[in-house]
Amino acid sequence: MDYSGLSDLQILQQIGDFIKAERIQQQKSQEQLAKVAGISRSTLSLLERGEKVNLITLIQVLRVLDRLQWLEAFEVKKTISPIEYIKLQKKHERQRVRNTDMAADNPPLEW
């Protein structure tokens, strides 16, 4: 579904429909779900109807419905810029070890 063409209220309605369908599929009443989520039944009803509710309310309900994976879309993935990648590669490059005893500036000591 193309959510960019929907109004804010239409998106809220989609979220409410999702919550209601999940609740019914899990055979939970509004009263049961609201009690476990720590919200009132009327607040859950508002959410299911697509009314404005607090974001924390949505999170509490998703947690009870075991649907927090829905929030993975909001995860910020760390990326490495090409310059940072090159710096990391140089940091871990093998470096030659120079034997200082054999260097021309330091001839071996004789006894």
pTM for this prediction? 0.67
Domain boundaries, the chain: 3-74
Task: Give residue-wise pLDDT tens across range 30-69.
Answer: 999 999 999 999 999 999 999 999 999 999 999 999 999 9
Of the candidates 85, 74, 81, 22, the residue with the CA atom closest to the CA atom of residue 48: 22
> How large is the C-alpha radius of gyration of the chain?
30
**Per-residue confidence (pLDDT) for residue 102, from 0 to 100:** 57
CATH architecture of the region 3-74: Orthogonal Bundle (1.10)
**Per-residue confidence (pLDDT) for residue 71, from 0 to 100:** 86
